[in-house]
Every structure is written in structure tokens, then in C-alpha cells.
């Protein structure tokens, strides 16, 4: 049974998120906490599959960000290094910090849009339990075989008969593989092909917009175009949330 921890000081918000989660998977075990101390105590029990964390836990303090303190504490555990964390906030600076430094998966703004919340939470629940540090993509660059962790790959582009891998810490290029060959070697639970020229890591997707024909990635990465023959599959996998 999957376990989910909701860290939220607002009872109505907690009940709404719990209701949406139960509609998605009826056999979930949902654990709630109203402050960081309670949430940290819950980590001593069985493992969690997903965390939904309100950043602002003190309504009387506009500068409060104790939810981020909990996420930082959470990431110190090896088993929770890649567990999906959905944050709730409307403060852009805090959202960016959560993405850039704490590896959070998605965010939900209050008041919740139920359709978006359902889409985001479903994708978070469906993510692999964790990224395996021993899972690598191997590519030959300038005669040297480089091993790149799946987790560090943002996008893979094909242009001018050249493969370009955009990573969180740099770029690698290679000339000897087609994008089809690359996609065949990548796990479909983590990556999705958006066009004949681009593959993206689902972890870095903000949302997909079918009408615009674009997949928006978390900052600072640029949107990528969706190919017409790939649109249906991309929207099915990534949704509009």
C-alpha cells in the first residue's frame, strides 16, 4: 500500500487533498501533519511514496517558509532523495527555490483547481519509487564513453545529425546515434519523446499545452515543441496540468 504524507496547517485544504488522493487510488494510506515537528516524527515509521507540503505553515508570518525546512530535512535521507514532493504556494520566489535547490516535483496554488490538482497528484503517484543511482545512460563523446545518470538528464535533442544532452550540470554532444536509438535505451517511465527531435525527462516538466503545442519545463529550462504525430501520446502522458 502506498503511503502519502500531507503537511498542511489548514484543515480544509488537508481534507480536499486527501479526498482527491483517495479518488485517484482508494487504497492509499494518508498521514497528515500540521507542523514540521509532527511531519518529522512521521518519517520514523514506514516509507512514504509521496509528500504534499505547504510551504507557509504560519499564517501570522508572511515570511514563513518552514515547509521548505521540512523538505530540506527530508532530502537528507537517502531513501527520500528522489521521492516526489508536491509543494503548495503562490509565492514565486519560494517555488523557484523549491525547484532549484530541493528537487521538488510540482506545485499547486491555492485555492486549488481540482482538475489540475488531480492531474499533478496522479502523475506524482505514478512516478517510479525512486531513481536508481546505478542507472546510467552511456554515450560516446570524443572517443570517451561517458555515463550520465538518468536523474541528471533534462532533455535530449537531435539536430544536424548530432545528439545534444542537456543536463543539470552541463551539456554533452555525440554524433554516432539517432534519437530513436537513444530513446530505445532510456526508461519510458522517466522519459517521453515529444517530437522527432526532442526527448524530455518527465521530472522536469511543468506542464504540457496541446493547443500551443509546447511542453513547458521548470526554470531555467526552455519550452520544447510537441510534434504533431506525438501530440496525443505526450498529452496523455503529461496532461495539461
CB 188 within 8 Å of CB 212? no
Query: What's the pLDDT score for residue 137?
Result: 81
Query: What's the pLDDT score for residue 133?
Result: 46
Query: What's the pLDDT score for residue 146?
Result: 77
Query: What's the pLDDT score for residue 103?
Result: 66
Query: What's the pLDDT score for residue 60?
Result: 72
Residuewise pLDDT in 10s, the chain (241 residues): 789 999 999 999 999 999 999 999 988 999 999 999 999 999 887 789 999 999 888 767 767 778 888 998 998 887 787 788 998 876 655 555 555 556 677 788 888 889 999 999 998 888 765 544 457 787 777 666 777 888 889 999 998 888 999 999 889 888 767 899 889 888 888 899 999 999 999 989 988 998 899 999 988 999 999 999 999 989 888 865 4
Query: What's the pLDDT score for residue 96?
Result: 58
User: How many helices (H) does the chain have, and how many strands (E)?
Assistant: 7, 15
Q: Which domains does the chain have, with CATH numbers?
A: 3-126 (3.40.50.2300), 136-238 (2.40.50.1020)
Q: Is the dihedral of CA 45, 47, 51, 56 positive or negative?
A: positive
Angle at 69 between CA 122 and CA 45, to 5 degrees: 65
Calpha distance 88→112 (Å, rounded):
9
Amino acid at each position: 500500500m502506498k503511503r502519502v504524507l500531507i503537511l498542511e496547517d489548514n484543515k480544509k485544504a488537508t481534507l480536499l487533498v486527501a479526498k482527491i488522493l483517495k479518488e485517484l487510488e482508494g487504497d492509499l494510506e494518508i498521514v497528515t501533519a500540521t507542523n514540521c515537528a509532527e511531519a518529522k516524527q512521521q518519517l520514523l515509521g514506514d516509507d512514504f511514496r509521496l509528500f504534499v507540503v505547504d510551504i507557509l505553515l504560519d499564517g501570522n508570518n508572511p515570511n514563513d517558509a518552514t515547509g521548505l525546512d521540512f523538505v530540506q530535512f527530508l532530502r537528507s535521507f537517502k531513501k527520500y532523495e528522489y521521492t516526489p514532493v508536491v509543494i503548495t504556494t503562490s509565492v514565486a520566489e519560494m517555488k523557484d527555490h523549491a525547484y532549484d535547490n530541493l528537487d521538488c516535483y510540482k506545485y499547486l496554488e491555492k485555492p486549488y483547481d481540482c482538475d489540475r490538482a488531480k492531474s499533478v497528484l496522479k502523475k506524482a503517484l505514478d512516478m517510479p519509487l525512486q531513481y536508481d543511482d546505478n542507472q546510467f545512460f552511456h554515450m560516446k563523446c570524443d572517443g570517451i564513453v561517458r555515463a550520465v545518470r538518468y536523474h541528471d538528464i533534462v532533455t535530449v535533442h537531435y539536430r544536424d545529425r548530432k545528439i545534444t544532452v542537456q543536463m543539470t550540470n552541463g551539456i554533452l554532444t555525440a554524433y554516432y546515434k539517432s534519437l530513436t536509438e537513444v530513446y530505445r535505451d532510456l526508461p519510458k517511465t522517466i522519459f517521453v519523446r515529444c517530437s522527432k527531435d526532442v526527448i524530455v525527462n518527465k521530472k522536469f516538466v511543468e506542464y504540457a499545452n496541446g493547443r500551443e503545442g509546447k511542453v513547458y519545463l521548470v526554470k531555467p529550462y526552455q519550452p520544447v515543441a510537441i510534434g504533431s504525430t506525438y501530440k496525443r501520446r505526450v498529452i496523455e502522458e503529461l496532461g495539461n496540468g
